[in-house]
Amino acid sequence: MSDFSHSLVDQSISLADAPAEAERMIAWLQDRRIIGMTKDEDGEYRRGENFGDALTDDWRQAQSISFSLKVYTERRVFLPLENGERLHCPACGAEQMESNENWFEAVNRWHEGDDAASATCVGCGAQAPVTQWRCEAPWGFGNLGFEFNDWTLKSEFIAEFQRALGRPVVVVPCWC
């Protein structure tokens, strides 16, 4: 396991469709030689010969780092690097701390299968699904996620990935 990763999270795909879509995107990454053709003993794909095409310039030189990809096809909350301490209500924009019990309860309900799990704003009282709250450090809620361990992905690669996927992704930088 790495110290840092970027997770690209598809928040709109169903759990039933996630495995086939994961395979399609793995093939896309392999065709571009960003990742290798097989999984290692940890179930992760190692970097391919063109892995540098996905990295920011400062990370291209780091040949000693493992650079692996783990793909998740399960309902999962991808947590950010800074734990997203500042949340903003999608209705009024009021800032509230993540420590709000109501937020954690809603996140747990979403994780347990409630797609409409909502949190209540302490400012205006509006209720909105946790997937619509704006977090300064993005959270990812989805059934399909690509965790690039030890990769600092360049924005051009993320844009190419989204085009290949055909949907936007949430980019979650995190410590693992």
pLDDT, residue 134, reads 86
Taking only Cα atoms into account, the Rg of the chain, rounded to an integer number of angstroms, comes to 17
Mean pLDDT, range 107-130, rounded to an integer: 93
Residue 65 carries which DSSP code?
S
Domains and CATH numbers, the chain: 4-77+139-175 (3.30.310), 86-133 (no CATH)
pLDDT, residue 1, reads 42
Mean pLDDT, range 20-27, rounded to an integer: 98
What's the rounded Cα separation, in Å, for the pair 42 and 58? 27
* CA quadruple 22, 150, 50, 165: dihedral, nearest 10: 30
What's the rounded Cα separation, in Å, for the pair 93 and 131? 15
Question: Who has greater pLDDT, 154 or 136?
Answer: 154
Confidence of residue 57 (pLDDT cuts 50, 70, 90): confident
What's the rounded Cα separation, in Å, for the pair 13 and 69? 20
Mean pLDDT, range 18-36, rounded to an integer: 97
Contacts for 71 with CB less than 8 Å, ≥ 6 apart: 22, 25, 26, 45, 144, 145, 146, 147
What's the rounded Cα separation, in Å, for the pair 146 and 128? 26
Name the average pLDDT for the chain: 88
Token digits of residue 80: 């950010």
Token digits of residue 87: 């949340």
Find tokens 């109501």 and name the residue.
Answer: 102
DSSP strand pairing (68-72 vs 76-78): unpaired
Question: Who has greater pLDDT, 175 or 133?
Answer: 133
Mean pLDDT, range 67-72, rounded to an integer: 92
Beta bridge partners of 115: none
Q: Is the pLDDT of residue 30 over 90?
A: yes
pLDDT, residue 85, reads 64
Question: Who has greater pLDDT, 38 or 60?
Answer: 38
pLDDT, residue 28, reads 98
pLDDT, residue 106, reads 93
55 contacts 151 by C-beta, under 8 angstroms: yes
130 contacts 118 by C-beta, under 8 angstroms: yes
Mean pLDDT, range 71-77, rounded to an integer: 96
| Complete DSSP assignment for 146-170 | EEEET--B-HHHHHHHHHHHTS--E
